[in-house]
Amino acid sequence: MDKRELKYFGMRKNHYSLVRKFWECTDGIKLTIGDSENEFESFLKRNKGMSFICKDKSILIGTILCGHDGRRGFIYHLAVDKNYRNMSIAKTLINKSITQLKSQGIKRCMLMADSINENAKSFWIKMQWRKRDDLQMFSIDLK
């Protein structure tokens, strides 16, 4: 087996094209109007140091987009290449973002998983996140 050289980096605005392609090719990731390049740059600027990527040599293999509103943290687009799963990459990405949220005084973090994405739901339960049945998500596009 080849030697893996996993390295983690803070996500930067110049990563947009790379991570966008990665998200487009990753099962379970749904991109929306909020995933444009301008929105991405604005999000990273408002949430400096909260999001990360993982590479094996020069190949992108994992991402986490994370931020907060001053009260609650939010995780978006946690993704790991299917050939690199079960290697604690997702756990490491989560821990890096959670550490940053805690450093900003954030005491709770939330995320959304598609109701038909069984892999995501199983993963988050395995990671000891609570499934919330008491909330309903609503949204509106502001065009």
Residue 132 inside a domain? The answer is no
pTM of the complete model beyond 0.85: yes
Residue 137 inside a domain? The answer is no
Q: How many domains does the chain have?
A: 1
Q: What are phi and psi of 27, to 5 degrees?
A: -55, 140
b/e burial code for range 30-41 (CB count within 10 A of at least 16 → b): eeeeebeeeebe
Residue 116 inside a domain? The answer is yes
Residue 77 inside a domain? The answer is yes
Q: What are phi and psi of 89, to 5 degrees?
A: -65, -50
Residue 140 inside a domain? The answer is no
Residue 56 inside a domain? The answer is yes
Q: What is the CATH number of the domain that holds 29?
A: 3.40.630.30
Each residue's pLDDT, cut to its tens digit, for the chain (143 residues) gives 456 889 999 999 999 999 999 999 998 899 998 999 999 999 999 999 999 999 999 999 999 999 999 999 999 999 999 999 999 999 999 999 999 999 999 999 999 888 888 889 999 999 999 999 898 889 888 87
Q: Residue 36: which domain range?
A: 6-126
What pLDDT sits at residue 97? 98
